[in-house]
Amino acid sequence: MKVGITGNPGVGKTTLVKRVLATLPLRAGGMITEEIRKCGYRVGFLVRDVATGKEGFLAHRHLCDGPGFGRYRLCLKDLEEIGAAAIERALAEAELIVIDEVGPMELKSPRFIAAVERALGSNKHLLVTVHRASNHHLAYRIRHEVDHLVRLTKSNREEKIQEVIRLFSG
């Protein structure tokens, strides 16, 4: 089963992923990204390995030295050595591969792109969040090739969390 989650920023895609992971009895691997907030302001994003808990920076306003992306600088080293590596490990070891998120920042990494393409082509369960409007070929593929694409809104979030749990449990 391959399930894609899309929706506007801040609608709860990562929250859905975390709730699904907490509920399903499947051995999961892969990566999650989350906002880093200081004094009420977003200063960056972290990347976390689902299986090991190892964290690094995806992007930060002050602590990364990679390519610029809006107000942030990317940390491609952490994305590749934590995020892409977690996806690669999940391909070998996990029952459920989690990729949160396939978005413009992550798509700057060739290693990340290759890992996501392998996950999409694998026979493993996949739960992937994807940027709602990216024109990148991989985001397009995900939105059109997954078994189920869930369009998340604030008003349907609870219903969709239960739907995704049912999809993987059935």
Tens digits of residue pLDDT in 119-148 = 999 999 999 999 988 889 999 999 999 999
Give the pTM.
Answer: 0.96
Averaged pLDDT, 30-38: 96
Specify if 101 maps to a domain.
yes
* Residue pair 101/129 in contact by the 8 Å Cβ criterion: yes
Q: Which tokens is 132 given?
A: 């709602």
**Segments in the chain forming alpha helices (H):** 13-23, 76-78, 85-93, 110-121, 137-145, 157-169
Q: What is the pLDDT of residues 73-108, one digit of tens each?
A: 999 999 999 999 999 999 999 999 999 999 999 999
| Owning domain of residue 88 | 2-33+84-169
Determine the pLDDT at residue 170.
79
Specify if 45 maps to a domain.
no
Whole-number Å distance between alpha carbons of 99 and 117: 11
Specify if 142 maps to a domain.
yes
* Residue pair 75/104 in contact by the 8 Å Cβ criterion: no
Specify if 77 maps to a domain.
no
Q: How many domains does the chain have?
A: 1
Specify if 44 maps to a domain.
no
Specify if 161 maps to a domain.
yes
Q: What is the mean pLDDT of the chain?
A: 96
**Alpha-carbon torsion 13, 16, 97, 42, what sign?**
positive
Specify if 98 maps to a domain.
yes
Specify if 139 maps to a domain.
yes
CATH number for the domain harbouring residue 159 = 3.40.50.300
